[in-house]
Structure formats: structure tokens, C-alpha cells
Amino acid sequence: MGFWSHTVVPRATDLLLSPRTTGEVRARVCDGLSGTVLELGFGSGPNCGYYPPDVTEVWAVEPSDVHWRRAQKRIAATHATVTRAGLDGQFLALADASADSALSTWTLCTIPNAFRALQEVRRVLRPGGTLHFVEHGLSPSAGVARWQHRLDPVQQALAAGCHLTRRIDALLEEAGFTLDELATYDAPGAPKPFSWFYEGVGRSTSMATSASPS
């Protein structure tokens, strides 16, 4: 990745997804996390202020050094111990069944092989462990979806590989999660192609051999 992806995109993401505008959603999504939490796309740590008291440790997966440097004040202020546990959610150097919960906030859109990353999350989660998530993705509105497909190549180029057209609920189920909770809605104040949110809790089922969907 070049200067744009390394330097500009992390700062733009911090601005667009600041706790000032997303704090209410982050608080809902983090509710119920406990113990050791695997967090995909830790970013600059905007979820640090929303970890429940029962969270003791966070394994942060974050590829951006810019984000990680900007996260240090938030890490110092949170009650949980935060460790950078990897750069790529698709390949986690963590033991099987070693995390109690997992967290992903606006991250699955950017991971190249999100199915593989979710398989890794399932491997690292203890049996029955939960993944708390909020993501943006494909709208059920045919008109909006057409625009999403048109804009998707541009979005990927400008936003470091971010996709607009992923069906997050289907992706989770294909990867072996059961959806204990799911809410879908248009986020207020955002352009329609970018505003269809999937928010909920997925529970890890037993691992089984499965091929990545085409």
C-alpha cells in the first residue's frame, strides 16, 4: 500500500467513525463482552471507552502502524490490558479456543477474504463464544444496491479495499456463526450506498471443514 492507504485513509476513518458520531452504536455492540476479547480492526482504539468492566484483556488485530500509534492514549486510559496480537485477521497466531468473545466494528468490509477471517475468529473463540459486530454492507433496496455495485470499485480504490456490497448476515452464517441478534437499518445522515448497517451478535458453532464460497 502507498501513502494514501497508509497515511490518509487511517486519519479519514478516524474522522468518519469518531466516537462522537458512533458512540451510541459502539456502546450497544460492546455490551455483553467479557473476559478475553479478540478485536478485529482495532484501529485507533475507539472502542476502548466502551469495554464493559468484565472485559479483562483485548487482543487487538490492527495492520496500520498509524492507527496503532494514535491508539496509545486510549489504550492507557482503558481498564483492560490491550495487546497487539496480529496484523492480519485472515492469519491469527493465536491458540484455538483461547478467546471468550470477539468484536468487529466496521472492519469486515475491508478484509480481502472476510470469510477466512471469520473462520479464524471461530477457531480462536471458545466453543459457544460470541462475535459482537456492526458493519456496513449491501442494502436490500434494489435501487441502492445498484448504486453500491457501481460505486464498489471506486470505494475499494479510495478506501483501502473497502467493499460496499457484502451481505454481512450471509457471510457470518456461511462462516459458521448463528445469529443470536441481528438488526439492519439505514444509519441516519449518511449517503444511502454507505449507510446500510448490520448490527448484532453471532455465536460460534463447532468447527467443521468448509470451503470458501466463490
3-state SS record for 6-18 = HHHHHHHHHHHCC
Domains of the chain with CATH codes = 3-203 (3.40.50.150)
For residue 42, give the nearest of 53, 56, 26, 25 by alpha carbon.
Answer: 26
Alpha-carbon 155 to chain mean position: 17
What's residue 209's pLDDT?
40
Do the Cβ atoms of 41 and 104 come closer than 8 Å?
yes
Spatial distance between the Cα atoms of 45 and 70, rounded to a whole number of angstroms: 8
Q: Would you say residue 149 has pLDDT above 50?
A: yes
Distances 147 to 59, 133, 188, 193 between C-alpha atoms, Å: 36, 24, 18, 7
pLDDT band at 83 (very low <50, low <70, confident <90, very high): very high
For residue 109, give the nearest of 21, 201, 197, 27 by alpha carbon.
Answer: 197
What's residue 207's pLDDT?
62
Do the Cβ atoms of 153 and 147 come closer than 8 Å?
no
For residue 78, give the nearest of 46, 106, 101, 111 by alpha carbon.
Answer: 46
- β partners of residue 196: 186
What's residue 42's pLDDT?
97
Average pLDDT, stretch 25-44? 97
To the nearest 5 percent, what fractions of the chain are helix, strand and coil? 35, 25, 35
What's the pTM value of the predicted model, to 2 decimals?
A: 0.91
Q: Would you say residue 134 has pLDDT above 70?
A: yes
